Amino acid sequence: MRTEVRLPALGENIESADVGALRVAVGDRVVVDQGLFEVEADKATVEVPAPVAGLIVELAVQAGAPVRPGQVVVVIETEPVGSLAASVTPKESATSAESMSRTEAAPAASTGAGFIEATQVVPSAKGVDASPPMSAVAAPGLAEAEAASGVARSVAPVKAARGFASPSVRRLARELGVDVSMIESPRVTEDDVKLAARARSATVPERPFPDLAKFGPVEREPMSKVRRATADAMSYAWRTIPHVTLFHEAEVTALEAARERHAKRFEADGTKLTVTAMLLKVVASALRVFPKLNASVDLATYEVVWRRSIHLGVAVDTPRGLLVPVLRDADQKGVRSLARELGELAAKARSSKLTLDEMSGATFSVTNLGGLGTGFFTPIINPPEVAILGVGRATKRDGSSWMPLSLSFDHRVVDGADGARFMSWVTNACADPYAIWMD
């Protein structure tokens, strides 16, 4: 019997991903939970394990190829078939047109226990594909659409019936202030919505990229999924959000003394106590006092969305780029729990083990560049959040430790006085951290 390993739904708003690396070849024998391949979706890289033990008889895609939820990636023979291994040839792998044609499968539902969905089929001489064809239309690429015209494309009013748009696409359209009924497409995708938003906000065409080769040798390197996702998100945030940044210095002498005093006690159970973890406790407590900085804004309805949970995104520098895992319900956790969870998530980020769920849903972000020697800086807000706190390197002055803090906030929601009061509360708490637990 053959088991088809398909790509399930990776998360909300994720319609495709790239196969990062194939860890097996046709003819290999695998055991349960052995890594089969890596898949890259925006900022998450996930290793997909084998659901069964058996023989790899087909690789339906090549490394670097895009895949969609429901698409067959690997086929495993789970029954002993004698000389099957010898009969399997590379022609039955990803380069086969027959293999590629059978990968367009219906979107699979998430199993809730990982990033893998397996379907067993009864094989014939060539194998049987019982999967229905995918009816979804592939989303057009933004870069190709804009490159073809040379300027941001305008969106014409639809002349026929309104095209289909999923709830997640409609939610994105509301966030960007785009009317999906004005997009002429049989099936409106996220790329359509983003293109419409760009066309609406663009006032001048983008300048063509200059020919740099005439000044000397150059090399081109395609952006990774992480870099592309970061570029798109930061460009959109900087263009659409009216940023204001406040700079305060916090005296952290007491904070550092508390860390030194309790560090060994934390290490007893394998937890590393850091100033960042203690700052997260301060920030989470501050957000309960100043909920406006924990909110979001829905411009489609001109409503402030008050978010009752406090989920802190923490920027982590990794070899693949910037990743932001999320510590959920941070205000309900003590410093020990925050320190332990922060260490675990940071380790997963650096080893490419984070899931999409672990990087979703933040209400406020913290980015610490102090370890790299940075002082004040201007962090960019990650929408739909309305604020982000930048942490710089602490320095000694007159026998005290002072840490530079930079708060960027969305002026559509947060006034300067709101930001100033928030920063004053945070700096006071850093100077006397025990006051947080005395209230």
Report if residue 151 sits inside a domain. no
Q: For residue 266, how many other CB atoms are within 10 A of its CB?
A: 18
pLDDT for position 176: 75
Predicted confidence at residue 89, as pLDDT, reads 46
The amino acid present at 378, given as its one-letter code, is T
Query: How many Å apart are CA 381 and CA 237, to the nearest integer?
Result: 7
- DSSP string computed for 116-130: -EEEEE---SS----
For the stretch 220-232, pLDDT in tens is 998 887 888 888 8
Do 194 and 101 lie in a common domain? Answer: no
CA distance 272 to 275: 10
Residues 258 and 314 in one domain: yes
- Specify whether the CB–CB gap between 169 and 151 falls below 8 A: no
Question: The domain spanning residue 39 has which CATH number?
Answer: 2.40.50.100
Residues 6+ apart with CB under 8 A from 146: 152, 153, 195, 198, 206
Confidence at residue 352, expressed as pLDDT on a 0 to 100 scale? 84
C-alpha to C-alpha distance for 154 and 176, rounded to whole angstroms: 16
Q: Which residue has the tokens 């802190």?
A: 312
Q: Which residues contact 284 (CB under 8 A, 6 or more apart)?
A: 310, 312, 330, 331, 333, 338
Whether residue 283 contacts residue 364, with contact meaning beta carbons closer than 8 Å, is answered with yes
Residue 178: what pLDDT? 78
Q: Please give the pLDDT value at position 226.
A: 81
3-state secondary structure 236-253: HHHHHCCEEEEEEEEECH
Q: Which of 137, 165, 153, 118 is nearest to 68 (CA)?
A: 137
For residue 175, what are the domain limits? 163-199
- The answer to whether residue 274 sits within a structural domain is yes
In tens, the pLDDT along 135-167 reads 333 333 434 434 444 334 334 333 334 456 776
**C-alpha Rg value of the chain to the nearest Å:** 25
Q: Is residue 136 part of a domain?
A: no
Domain end (from 147, 178, 199): 199
Same domain, 93 and 11: yes
Question: 109 in a domain, yes or no?
Answer: yes
Alpha carbon dihedral 218, 146, 163, 299, in 10-degree steps, equals: 90
| 411 flagged as catalytic | yes
Q: Round to whole Å and give the CA distance between 237 and 157.
A: 27
Rounded Cα–Cα distance for residues 60 and 102 (Å): 8
**Is 335 within the bounds of a domain?**
yes
Chain centroid, CA 88 distance in Å: 38
Same domain? For 405 and 273 the reply is yes
Q: Is residue 334 part of a domain?
A: yes
Q: Mark out the alpha helices in 241-375 (DSSP H runs).
A: 253-267, 275-289, 335-350
* Shared-domain flag, residues 63 and 194: no
Query: Are 257 and 114 part of one and the same domain?
Result: no
CATH of the domain at 265: 3.30.559.10
Q: Which is the catalytic residue, given 243, 262, 311, 411?
A: 411
320 and 399 in a common domain: yes
The torsion defined by the Cα of 122, 126, 132 and 135, in degrees rounded to 10, comes to 160
d(CA 256, CA 373): 17
In this predicted structure, what is the pLDDT of residue 365?
97
* Phi, psi of 199, deg, nearest 5: -65, -35
In a shared domain, residues 171 and 24 = no
105 falls within a domain: yes
List the chain residues with pLDDT less than 50.
81, 83-87, 89-117, 119-162, 203-204
Give the integer Cα–Cα distance in Å for 167 and 335. Answer: 38
296 and 188, same domain (yes or no): no
Q: What number of residues does the chain have?
A: 439
**Judgement on whether residues 191 and 254 belong to the same structural domain of the protein:** no
375 and 254 in a common domain = yes
Same domain, residue pair 74 and 172: no
Domain assignment of residue 214, yes or no: no
State the total domains in the chain. 3
| Structure token pair of residue 130 | 């019982």
Query: For position 169, which CATH number holds?
Result: 4.10.320
End residue of a domain, out of 121, 151, 177: 121
